[in-house]
Chains A and B, each alone.
Chain A
């Protein structure tokens, strides 16, 4: 049956614009030296294997999973913040039912992970992980505390700017995105090879959240906005 020709409509996704994504090999980030492929990647057309992907429902998320401040008996120490935004595709359409997962340090810059040996205190009231699903407008919200900066071993006196890790599933396996959200005005940006690995300055700036008075709650928590754009289909398909 190998000669069977089976035509199925596949909607190709956009290709990522040059410079908008970091390269795999970026020498200032030393671990890439042994972990980046050195042979050229093979360009492939998009088949159903690329343009489909996992779909998650609300059953994957608990009611309070998006509030990292209420996972323990007491409140975590630190500056309470509300991080919210929308997930859109590259055609500007909202991406509903997108699973967003986040993880971060506590306010002292320490992850609740056995591998994190930074001598900063753990907070018994903070685990630093949460998840949510976007609504019909692609909107999401997390309540958390502002993470701290922390040292790492990339080079002498290396410090990561404060960040929240984001993992997002879009409509296709190739629109999958794992990234980091930063905070405005961080003095560590210019020294951080992970942030600096993105060649295009404008693309880099997109990872910096914006302070937002509208979502700031009086006497309670500052608001930060972080919108996310995922790869979408090349053209908006006809909808009847």
Chain B
């Protein structure tokens, strides 16, 4: 009993307001997760994080994890028989700025298998003062035909799926936006993983 109890995962505590002195210094941010030679459709995603009053958070941190353009993760537990794209990093970390936004440079991910193929998506963890533990969400791409058959989107009521759709900026090809709304009518879908 005692040994088991000792192996209960350590509790989370808030990242607080001062994480910038380590986690998001210029050296420790990762704003681009695909080196120039990485294959695929290059894109820039502007994130904002908004509180229950719709006020952007200037003290949030986002961590991003995604597969390469071929749907392969840069990790030994990905059993797919294909090589990770050279130049693929796959992990991003950004702090929101004074206007509450930050921009990730990446490649559109490929489809990751899970029984059926998942639609292209990024996995996102959100941290901030006032958040006792991180929240997990996903970024999908509005208009991608694969969304219709995504097994995770199918777990969500249709009227809430839109909160997970990055929206293209028609005037600037390759640029997308994604708002993380912590509360409200359009509260982003968060996952219990």
Binding site for B on A (CB under 8 A): 1-11, 14, 16-17, 20-24, 26, 29, 31-39, 41-55, 88, 90-92, 101-103, 111-113, 115-116, 127-131, 165, 167, 171-180, 194-195, 197-198, 202-204, 206-207, 228-231
Contacts and interface: CB of A to CB of B under 8 A. Distances in A.
Contact of B132 (A22, A131, A177, A228): A22
A177 B3 contact: no
Interface stretch (B37-45, B99-107, B123-131, B169-177): B123-131
Interface in B50-75: 51-53, 57, 59, 63, 65-67, 73-75
A129 B193 CA distance: 30
Contacts of A113: 17-18, 20-21
Given A44-B193, A48-B114, A22 B128 contact: no
Q: Interface of chain A, helix or strand or loop or mixed?
A: loop
Does more than half of chain B's interface fall in helix, strand or loop, or is it mixed? loop
A39 to B, nearest CB: 5
Given A51-B77, A204-B11, A39 B187 contact: yes
Contacts, number: 246
B189 interface: yes
Contacts of A8: 79-80, 113-114
Interface of B: 3, 5-23, 25, 28, 51-53, 57, 59, 63, 65-67, 73-80, 90-91, 112-118, 121, 123, 125, 127-136, 138, 145-146, 148-149, 152, 155-156, 160, 182-183, 187-193
A5 B7 CA distance: 36
Contacts of A31: 129-130
A63 to B, nearest CB: 16
Contacts of A177: 9-10, 12
Contact of A36 (B118, B148, B183, B191): B183
Contacts of A176: 63, 125, 134
B17 A35 contact: no
Contacts of B28: 101
Contacts of B138: 49
Contacts of A194: 13-14, 132
Given A21-B11, A34-B130, A178-B134, 8 more contacts: A2-B145, A5-B115, A34-B53, A41-B191, A44-B155, A90-B9, A173-B63, A207-B13
